[in-house]
Amino acid sequence: MKAGTGAVRAAETGPQLVGQPTTRPRTKMTSSEAFVETLAAEGITLVSGIVGSAYMDALDLFEPAGIRFLPVCHEQNAIHMADGYARITNRPSFAIAQNGPGITNFVTAVAAAYWAHTPMVFCTPSAGSMGIGLGGFQETEQLPIFSKITKWQVQVNRPERMAELLRRAFYIAKAERGPVQVDVPRDYFYGEIETEIYPSETLQRGTGSAEQIEEAARALSQAKFPAIIAGGGVVQGDAVAQTRALAEYLTAPVACSYLHNDAFPASHELASGPLGYQGSKAAMQLIAEADVVLALGCRLGPFGTLPQYGIDYWPKDAQIIQVDADHRVLGLTKRIAIAIQGDAAQTAQALLERMRALAPGRTRRSDVLAKIDERRKSWAEEIERLSSRRGEPISPRRALKIISETIPKDSVVTTDIGNISSVANSYLHFEEPRRFFAAMSFGNCGYSYPAALGAKLGRPDLPVIAYVGDGAWGMSLAEVMTAVREQIPVVAIVWNNREWGAEKRNQIDYYGNRFAGTNLANPDFAAVARAMGANAAKVERESELADTVRDALESGKPSVINLVVDSQELGEPFRRDALKKPVRLLDRYKGFQ
C-alpha cells in the first residue's frame, strides 16, 4: 500500500485538508489506483453498488484501499443506501454500478437524493471511449439522464484527469449539497498516469452582509410575536445549539419544517412540532400568529407549507427572514423581507450577538411560554384521542403511538411514502439531529428501507427502524437479503393494510370507491423474510406489538415485522391540493363520476 493511504478511514467530521492520505508530488500510478486513492483521500470507506465489468479493475483495489464494497440487489437501493449513509454521517457518500442498465437503475434514487439535499458522488462507468455512439452493448447517453437531478456532472475525458475530476466532484457535492455524477468511459480505468492525490476543500459559508444581520436582528428584536422555522439546513449545518440559543433569547416558538422533525429537540419548552402534512397543529397555530418569522436553513418548500387540517396557517402579513446556504431557494416560494445566503449556525449566532448588543436585558416571556404549552397540550390530547381505538386488526394510529413510545429515545427512524408512513409525522419526536430520514419531496415509495440500511452502516451504534407500507415493501424487500448477507441489523416495520392506502384514499374521496390497482394480496412478509435468513415476526394483536419491537431491536439481527393493521383509518388525501372531482363526457364513462 502507498505511503499515506490507510490513515483516517472513518473521519468523523468530513474530509480535512490535514491528516488525510495524500500522494504528492505527482506520482506514477494507474487510473484505477488514482480512483481508489482519491476516494480514500475523501474519507470514503463504504461504496454501495452492484458489481460490473466496467469498473472491475478499480473494484479489485477497494479492499486494500480500506473501502468496503456493499453489494445490493437493485442499484436504486445502492443510491438510497448512500443517501441514508450521507445524511446520518453528514459526509458525502459514494456509489457505483455497471454502465447502461446499472446506471439507469440509479435514476429514481438520485432524484430523491437531489431533493433531500444529500451530498453524494456517484460514478457512472460508460461505454468505452472508442465505442461511444455505436450502440455496442450497455450503452446509453448517461449524462443527459441525470442533468436535472445533479449539482454537477463531469465526464473524465482522459485517464490522467481521474483524480482531479473526482476530487472536484466531492468539493461540489459538499458545497452545494447534492448528488454529483462522474462519468468514466470504461477504458479509462486502465492506463498509467502521473497524478497527485489530496482531499477536496470544504467550503465555509458566512452570514450574509453586516447590513442584513443588522436589519434582521432589529426586525426580530422588535417583533411582538417572533417565530422560528428550523429546516434541514439546521440539521446539516449543525446549528441546533445556535437555533436554541436564539429561540431562548427571543422566547420564540420553534417549528420544524416538513419532515425535519429532528431539527429541534422535541422536549424543549419552545418546540412546537413539525409543519406540513400530518404535522403539528400547535406549530401551525403558533406560526399563524407570528409577525416576524425566521426561516432558518429552510427552502420553505411549497408542499411543506400547504394548508393542513383546513388551517391556512401561513402568516401572510408577517415579515419573513429566510436564511439558506443555497441562494437559489431564497424567495422562491414566499415573499421574503430579508433574504440571507448563509450558514444556519453562523447566521443564528451572528443574529443573537447583534440582538444582545441591541437589547442586552431581554426577559423571558411567560405569556408566550404558556401559549406554547397550551397549544402543544391540546395537540397532544387530540393525537391521544385519535390513537385510542383498541381491537383487531390494530389501528395504524394506535400502532404508531405504541411504537413511538417503545423505541429507544435515540432511535433513528426512516419513513417511506404512503399513508401510514406519512401519518407517522404526528408521532415521531426527536431530541437529536440526524435521527429522522423521510423520503422528502421527490416522494418515491421504496426509500425508507435501503436508506435505513445506509444509516445503520453510518451509525452502527444507534437503533435504526424503517417504517414501510406493504405496497412500498414490494419494492424493497429483496434488500433483506443484503441486510442478512452484510449483517446490517435494521428493523423494518411493514404496515400491512393490504392496499396502496394513500392512493386508495383518493379513490374513496374522488372516484366512488372504484379501487383500480389499489388492493394488494400479500404473502406473510415475516415468512418471506425468515426464508431470506432474517429475524421476523407477524403481529396481529396490540398486546404483542411493543414486545415484538423490543425483541427485534435487541436481537441485533436484520428484522422484519409484518404488522397487520386495519385499512379503515386513513388520513387526509396527500394531494387534495392537486386532485379534482372526475368529469366524464363520453356516454360509456357516465357511470364513472
Ligand X SMILES: Cc1ncc(C[n+]2csc(CCOP(=O)(O)OP(=O)(O)O)c2C)c(N)n1
- Identify what 37 binds: Mg ion, ligand X, none; CB under 5 to 8 Å per kind: none
444 binds ligand X (CB under 6 A): yes
| CB neighbours of residue 541 within 10 Å | 12
Output the smallest distance, CB 495 to ligand X, in A: 5
Comparing C-alpha atoms, which of 460, 433, 347 is closest to residue 90? 433
SS (H, E, C) 467-490: EEEHHHHHHHCCHHHHHHHHCCCC
253 binds ligand X (CB under 6 A): no
Residue owning grid cell 425535519: 260
Across the strands, what pairs with 185? 126
Nearer to ligand X, 290 or 529 (CB): 529
571 binds ligand X (CB under 6 A): no
Output the smallest distance, CB 515 to ligand X, in A: 12
- Identify what 503 binds: ligand X, Mg ion, none; CB under 5 to 8 Å per kind: ligand X
**Binding segment for Mg ion among 120-128, 184-192, 213-221, 494-502 (CB under 5 A)?**
494-502
Nearer to Mg ion, 463 or 471 (CB): 471
Tell which positions 498-527 bind Mg ion, by CB under 5 A.
Answer: 501
Nearer to ligand X, 443 or 533 (CB): 443
The residue from 227, 290, 403, 445 that contacts ligand X (CB under 6 A) is 445
> Which DSSP letter does residue 113 get?
H
The residue from 40, 345, 417, 537 that contacts ligand X (CB under 6 A) is 417
* SS3 assignment, position 90: coil
Nearer to Mg ion, 58 or 466 (CB): 466
Output the smallest distance, CB 582 to ligand X, in A: 18
**Binding segment for ligand X among 13-21, 181-189, 328-336, 491-499 (CB under 6 A)?**
491-499
- Identify what 417 binds: ligand X, Mg ion, none; CB under 5 to 8 Å per kind: ligand X
Tell which positions 343-402 bind Mg ion, by CB under 5 A.
Answer: none
**Binding segment for ligand X among 138-146, 283-291, 355-363, 470-478 (CB under 6 A)?**
470-478
Full DSSP string of 167-217: HHHHHHHHHHTSEEEEEEEGGGGSSEEEEEE-PPP--------HHHHHHHH
d(CA 248, CA 268): 10
Nearer to ligand X, 331 or 443 (CB): 443
Q: Which residues of 379-389 are buried (b: 16+ CB within 10 A; e: fewer)?
A: beeebeebbee
Nearer to Mg ion, 37 or 503 (CB): 503
266 binds ligand X (CB under 6 A): no
Contact 90, 236 (CB under 8 A): yes
415 binds Mg ion (CB under 5 A): no
Element at 295 (helix H, strand E): strand 292-296
Full DSSP string of 484-537: HHHT--PEEEEEE-SB-HHHHHHHHHHSTT--TTTB-----HHHHHHHTT-EEE
499 binds ligand X (CB under 6 A): yes
**Binding segment for ligand X among 136-144, 373-381, 429-437, 497-505 (CB under 6 A)?**
497-505
In this structure, are strands 491-496 and 464-469 parallel, antiparallel, or unpaired?
parallel
- Identify what 114 binds: Mg ion, ligand X, none; CB under 5 to 8 Å per kind: none
Nearer to ligand X, 189 or 447 (CB): 447
> Which DSSP letter does residue 426 get?
G
- Identify what 239 binds: Mg ion, ligand X, none; CB under 5 to 8 Å per kind: none
Nearer to ligand X, 392 or 410 (CB): 392
**Binding segment for ligand X among 202-210, 400-408, 440-448, 531-539 (CB under 6 A)?**
440-448
502 binds ligand X (CB under 6 A): yes
Output the smallest distance, CB 469 to Mg ion, in A: 4
**Binding segment for Mg ion among 14-22, 167-175, 469-477, 581-589 (CB under 5 A)?**
469-477
20 binds ligand X (CB under 6 A): no
Output the smallest distance, CB 303 to ligand X, in A: 13
d(CA 191, CA 24): 19
d(CA 401, CA 429): 11
d(CA 412, CA 546): 17
Q: Is 418 left (phi over 0), alpha (psi -120 to 50) or beta?
A: left
Contacts of residue 536, defined as CB under 8 A and 6 or more positions apart, other chains included, come to: 525, 526, 527, 529, 530, 559, 560, 561, 562
User: Residue number with the shortest CB distance to ligand X?
Assistant: 469
* SS3 assignment, position 132: coil
558 binds ligand X (CB under 6 A): no
Q: Write the CA distances from 377 to 248, 259, 329, 382, integer angstroms.
A: 20, 21, 34, 9
The residue from 279, 501, 571, 573 that contacts ligand X (CB under 6 A) is 501
Q: Write the CA distances from 313 to 139, 378, 493, integer angstroms.
A: 50, 17, 33
The residue from 469, 489, 558, 573 that contacts Mg ion (CB under 5 A) is 469
Applying CB under 6 A, the site for ligand X has a residue count of: 19
The residue from 42, 83, 470, 569 that contacts ligand X (CB under 6 A) is 470
450 binds ligand X (CB under 6 A): no
467 binds ligand X (CB under 6 A): no
Output the smallest distance, CB 574 to Mg ion, in A: 13
Output the smallest distance, CB 531 to ligand X, in A: 21
User: Residue number with the shortest CB distance to Mg ion?
Assistant: 469
Helical pair 542-555 and 396-406, crossing angle rounded to 10 deg: 40
d(CA 414, CA 586): 45
Q: Which three cell numbers stand for residue 448?
A: 425508507
Contacts of residue 347, defined as CB under 8 A and 6 or more positions apart, other chains included, come to: 207, 208, 213, 296, 323, 340
List residues near ligand X by CB under 6 A: 417-420, 443-446, 469-472, 495, 497, 499-503
List residues near Mg ion by CB under 5 A: 469-471, 497, 501
